[in-house]
Amino acid sequence: MTRSGSVWLFGGIIAVLSCFFQADARTDALIMTEPSEVNNKTSATLSCNLTNPSSEIKGHYWTRNGKVIDASKSDIKVPYTEYQIGKIDYHHSGIYACVFQTEPQVNATIEVKAAPHVAAYKHSEYGNENDRAVLVCVGSGYPLPTDWSWYKVSEDGNSKAAISNGTDDKYEIKNTPNKTTLYINNLDISGDMGKYLCLGINDQGSAEDEILLRVRSRLAALWPFLGIVAEVIILVTIIFIYEKRRKPDDIADDEDSGSAPLKSNSATNHKDKNVRQRNSN
Ligand SMILES: *[C@@H]1O[C@H](CO)[C@@H](O)[C@H](O)[C@H]1NC(C)=O
Ligand SMILES: *[C@@H]1O[C@H](CO)[C@@H](O)[C@H](O)[C@H]1NC(C)=O
Ligand SMILES: *[C@@H]1O[C@H](CO)[C@@H](O)[C@H](O)[C@H]1NC(C)=O
């Protein structure tokens, strides 16, 4: 191959390749997002800038965690859209996406992160002595907590002790991103009663909630049952006494009511007599 021949071949390859890339650039719509992610902010303006739309833009809208934000719907045919978040908290954090209504539709996502929200499933729990207590806290927001911890608050409320999983078969902790569960085995009245804290942490911050655990003695657990037994005994006694006291009245009642049938009997007797008389006539 001559020198000029190889130059031509090389040039040809470059030309084909660049043609290929140009074609690609022409058909591929591109969305530039600003910012690319929202971290530790109290408010933000999200924006998307669409270049090389594949067709006419019929409109655009935004979504949060896959749900369309109705207020963001627009049929303005521009390749640019903004969405303002006035206050970023766990309620407004999430995965946002701008969607341009072209053929096909195109979208780009922006993660808006905030500290999580943590809430006790129930703020007070009851357990019976020797039983097992189950305390639950639920996490929400974006991102969900990546770490959970539990603490027992001291009686005076001034300090807290971390609870670790599996200690003396007493505690067991089970975690999922949106939920933490603390099991307390073999409940003890003096030792386990009190306030517990659950703490959820993500890379933006943490949140906690409090649960008050009350432990009842075995005997106390019997009280409702004993109450019912006592109630039944009292009722039976009252009915018994009432029945006994009613007896003489009943006899009097029977005498009173007995006079009526007597009368009617005498009436029928008269009738019978009449009939008999008529028959004899
Ligand atoms: C969108 O991007 C284009 C090209 O990068 C740029 O020229 C234009 O100013 C951008 N528009 C806005 C509103 O940022
Ligand atoms: C706690 O220990 C149990 C049993 O060993 C285990 O199944 C569970 O995943 C542990 N929980 C945590 C939060 O490590
Ligand atoms: C926790 O997450 C699971 C799976 O992602 C989901 O099915 C469940 O509904 C969530 N629970 C709460 C309370 O958000």
In this prediction, residue 262 carries a pLDDT of 47
Section 229-245 average pLDDT: 89
Q: What is the pLDDT of residues 76-89, one digit of tens each?
A: 999 999 999 999 99
How far, in Å, from the CA of 66 to the mean position of ligand 2? 33
Q: How far apart are the first and last CA of the chain?
A: 160
Does residue 100 surpass a pLDDT of 80? Answer: yes
Q: What is the pLDDT of residues 137-179, one digit of tens each?
A: 999 999 999 999 999 999 998 999 999 999 888 999 999 999 9
178 lines ligand 3 (CB under 6 A): yes
In this prediction, residue 235 carries a pLDDT of 92
Section 29-53 average pLDDT: 93
3-state SS, residue 208:
strand
Does residue 277 surpass a pLDDT of 70? Answer: no
Does residue 267 surpass a pLDDT of 50? Answer: no
3-state SS, residue 269:
helix
Q: Residue 245 — very low, low, confident or very high, per pLDDT cuts 50/70/90? A: confident
Residue having the nearest C-alpha atom to atom 5 of ligand 3: 178
Give the residue ranges of DSSP H helices in the chain. 3-27, 189-192, 218-280
Spatial contact of 210 and 120, defined as CB atoms under 8 Å apart? yes
In this prediction, residue 3 carries a pLDDT of 53
Task: Let me know the angle formed at the C-alpha of 82 by 80 and 88, rounded to the nearest 5 degrees.
Answer: 155
How far, in Å, from the CA of 204 to the mean position of ligand 2? 25
Distance CA 142, CA 204 (A): 9
DSSP annotation of 252: H
Distance CA 243, CA 105 (A): 85
How far, in Å, from the CA of 120 to the mean position of ligand 1? 47
Q: What is the average pLDDT value for the chain, to the nearest integer?
A: 83
In this prediction, residue 221 carries a pLDDT of 65
Does residue 189 surpass a pLDDT of 50? Answer: yes
More confident residue, 270 or 48: 48
* Ligand nearest to the backbone CA of 78: 1
Residue having the nearest C-alpha atom to atom 6 of ligand 2: 174
In this prediction, residue 213 carries a pLDDT of 97
- Which residues touch 262 (CB under 8 Å, ≥6 apart)? none
DSSP annotation of 101: -
In this prediction, residue 265 carries a pLDDT of 47
In this prediction, residue 22 carries a pLDDT of 40
Does residue 264 surpass a pLDDT of 50? Answer: no
